[in-house]
Structure 1
């Protein structure tokens, strides 16, 4: 059975857990529709990405 050789200090434990915090989701307002979307993602309502038509535009959901 694996047993730690010595106690892990609070500082070392905190450094290990430093990447576990939840990140904020960064929404950006679309310049065409005015709705919020994720950056670097296609706007599903209009079907555009960076001003180019990528998908067929969908109606209201």
Structure 2
């Protein structure tokens, strides 16, 4: 008989141990308006467009 654990490892402890495996580099997608690489589900910081609509007027912020 091989070694056995003394007690059950809780789900929280198990998930904390595995948490660092999921961290990776952020994925990038191409903006449909200016074709720059941006993070998904966010307004493009280069042109201010999101899903084909302008949501930020970057000319005012300059």
Q: Same fold (TM over 0.5)?
A: yes
TM-score norm. by structure 2 comes to: 0.57
Q: In structure 2, how many angstroms separate the alpha carbons of the residues matched to 1:57 and 1:50? A: 16
Gaps of 5+ in 2: none
Gaps of 5+ in 1: 1-7
- Root mean square deviation, CA, Å: 2.6
Displaced runs of 4+ in structure 1, greater than 6 A?
none
- CA offset at residue 42 of structure 1? 0.2
The aligned length equals 48
Find the counterpart in structure 1 of residue 36 from structure 2: 35
Q: When you count helix as a share of all residues, which structure comes out higher?
A: 2
Q: In structure 2, how many angstroms separate the alpha carbons of the residues matched to 1:57 and 1:46? A: 7
TM-score norm. by structure 1 comes to: 0.58
